[in-house]
Structure 1
Amino acid sequence: MAVKRFKPWFKRAEEEEDGGGDMTALKSLALNNVPVKMGQTLCICSRGSITIDNKKYYFVQKLDEGGFSYVDLVEGAKDGRFYALKKILCHDREGRQEAQTEMEMHQIFNHPNILSIVAHTFVDRGGKTEAWLLLPYIGKGSLWSVLEKLRDKGSLMSEKQILQIFRGICSGLKAMHEKGYAHRDLKPTNVLLDEDDRPLLMDLGSMNRARIEVRGTREAMTIQDWAAQRCTISYRAPELFNVESHCIIDERTDIWSLGCVLYCMMMLEGPYDMVFQKGDSVALAVQNPVTIPQSCSYSGSLKMLLSSIMMSNPQERPNIHWVLDQVQDLQSCSPNTQTNMV
């Protein structure tokens, strides 16, 4: 079986900021490029195998590779199903703790719009530790990969489809916020879509407690540095660029990112993607109200929702319950203004 060239889907924000992966946040999740389907018989000779929780899985092919983690497509020896095996390199104790946190975040949530975890373990290989996360294989790929295809065809996503997908994203985010957590790195490449367009929030490695009280300049700088490493720059909330010495950072950072995702679904690129690509200051750009192009052909109600979400001042930003209520209202009355589908 020919192995295609796959695009990264899990590189961290620090790679984007140091120039090593300028386009990482804008690349598609490449799982949908795998030339196999669930349940399809594969003929691969001499496949390597791994065992997790006393279950054997056969290596199929590599899906992705980045600076600190890589992903393989594997097939269950007994069930014949395909899985994505994410392997995180743990260089030190802190790295191991971060991987442990990601595993725990997956286990906390049992929600149809949050990617589940099938199994996990730590493996020592050549004196180094790897965290293995066995995840469901979602063949269609990421929201970003779907938007890329639409852009290539010169099409747009219908308003009906936008609302359907966006509602699922909001539902997953609501489950996180209700348990007191924030995703902190919500973006189109971190949203998978199944064959029914059900969104699944993934890459929970940046998640932490939703409410963080900042007490002093040192704590502010610590959080600011953390955000620079873990929160993708063009989807990062304004309050994370210059953290005040005495403030509270809460789950409304996700609401800002959610607005960026909605904008991307409407315009096929994030509101600050071009700012970042040009090398201009995203930190400065996010201080101004988001501009919706006049060419945007979606309903006034959807545009108003977008503007309401993307408020630079977090105190003026709504919570996820309000956003979800608005989306549900729009679904009940919004016309399907665009009919071009994927």
Structure 2
Amino acid sequence: MDTYAMTQREIDAYRRFHHPNIIPLLDHQSKPHGNGKVVFMVFPVYRRGNLQDLVTHNRETGGKLEESFIIGVFRQLCEAVRFLHNYSGPLHASDLDTGDTPPERSGYAPVQATEEYAPSVMVPYAHRDIKLANVMLTDDGLSPVLMDFGSCLPARFTAHTRSDALRIQDDAAENCSMAYRAPELFDVQTGAEFDERTDVWSLGCLLYALAYSHTPFEDPSNTSILLAAINRKYTFPNPDPYSQRLTQLIDFMLEPDPKLRPSIDQVIALIDTQYP
């Protein structure tokens, strides 16, 4: 898929997803540029920046976020992700166009061709690049706003062939930041199945980073992020400034086996149980 087509897919995503915790696209325009086109997109300005800015500031100043703030922001972010994962609506051709391969053979076609444009099809989407830098903070500093939908696609697909597996692996390497990437996306095997729970892994990494100012597998002793992730090789500070409820929530999401990893609904249910 060329750059213009990818940009158009991102615009389609902003048109599709309307939620208080998802950034709105205010306007867009394309103009001829050389042999192609250049696309301009207009978004709101968030003066507080993103969560990465907040974490970097705390790391430099030795500051620490209150657990109530962390959970309040994270709970809202989970609602934005749940909106994507539980999406029902039309499936657009741009979502299936992953290259020159026909959609039904690309490993990315989650529904039959006859259902592509059905208005009420359940089509879970995955953001696929959830990280601190892709979550803005509203000007009151209390609400997260998920952004950067350039890699957002229907979540459920299968690597039917070795070619599919390599394509999925390369796509993940390009679009999903390594420190937040689910382990099943590092070494994709033929026949592997994927769903929206790749985002849940990323959320676990984000929550850890929000609390401790670095992602769980950013440890000099971890020579391989993949091996560290598969073996759940991460630690919490001792003494830990946060409660056991927070560490349990992180552990819950950082399940290496995608079949055992919780859904976003289960994550939200645990938050509401742990933090009534």
> Which TM-score bucket, shorter chain as reference?
0.7 to 0.9
Q: Distance in 2 between matches of 1:323 and 1:274?
A: 26
Alignment of 1:46-65 (within 5 A): none
- Correspondence 1:320 to 2:264: yes
- Correspondence 1:270 to 2:215: yes
Q: Distance in 1 between matches of 2:9 and 2:53?
A: 27
Alignment of 1:1-342 (within 5 A): 94-179=2-87, 180-196=124-140, 197-274=142-219, 280-289=223-232, 290-332=234-276
Q: Distance in 2 between matches of 1:125 and 1:214?
A: 36
Percent identity over the alignment is 34
Q: Deviations over 1:275-333 (max 9, x none)?
A: 5xx8932222211113223232211111111111101111111000111122223332x
When you count strand as a share of all residues, which structure comes out higher? Answer: 1
Q: Distance in 2 between matches of 1:123 and 1:281?
A: 44
**What is the root-mean-square deviation of aligned Cα atoms in Å?**
1.5
Point out where structure 2 has 5 or more consecutive residues left out of the alignment: 88-123
Matched-pair contact (CA < 8 Å) for 1:267–1:296? no
Q: Distance in 2 between matches of 1:254 and 1:142?
A: 19
Q: Distance in 2 between matches of 1:274 and 1:118?
A: 40
Q: What TM-score, normalized by structure 1, do the two folds share? A: 0.67
Q: CA deviation at 1:112?
A: 0.4
Q: Deviations over 1:247-301 (max 9, x none)?
A: 21110100000000000011011112345xx893222221111322323221111
Matched-pair contact (CA < 8 Å) for 1:184–1:253? yes
Point out where structure 1 has 5 or more consecutive residues left out of the alignment: 1-92, 333-342
Q: Distance in 2 between matches of 1:329 and 1:220?
A: 38
Look up the equivalent residue of 2:66 and give its one-letter code.
S
Q: CA deviation at 1:191?
A: 0.3
Higher-Rg structure is 1
Where do 4+ consecutive residues of structure 1 move more than 6 Å? none
Look up the equivalent residue of 1:244 and give its one-letter code.
Q
- Cα gap change, 1:128 to 1:265, in 2 (>3 Å): same
SS at structure 2 position matched to 1:133: strand
Matched-pair contact (CA < 8 Å) for 1:206–1:230? yes
Q: CA deviation at 1:175?
A: 0.4
Matched-pair contact (CA < 8 Å) for 1:264–1:271? yes
Q: Deviations over 1:136-171 (max 9, x none)?
A: 111110011011111222111100000000001101
Q: CA deviation at 1:210?
A: 0.7
Q: What TM-score, normalized by structure 2, do the two folds share? A: 0.82
Residue correspondences, number: 238
Q: Deviations over 1:213-246 (max 9, x none)?
A: 2212111111001111111111100000011210
SS at structure 2 position matched to 1:285: helix
SS at structure 2 position matched to 1:314: coil
Q: Distance in 2 between matches of 1:282 and 1:186?
A: 17
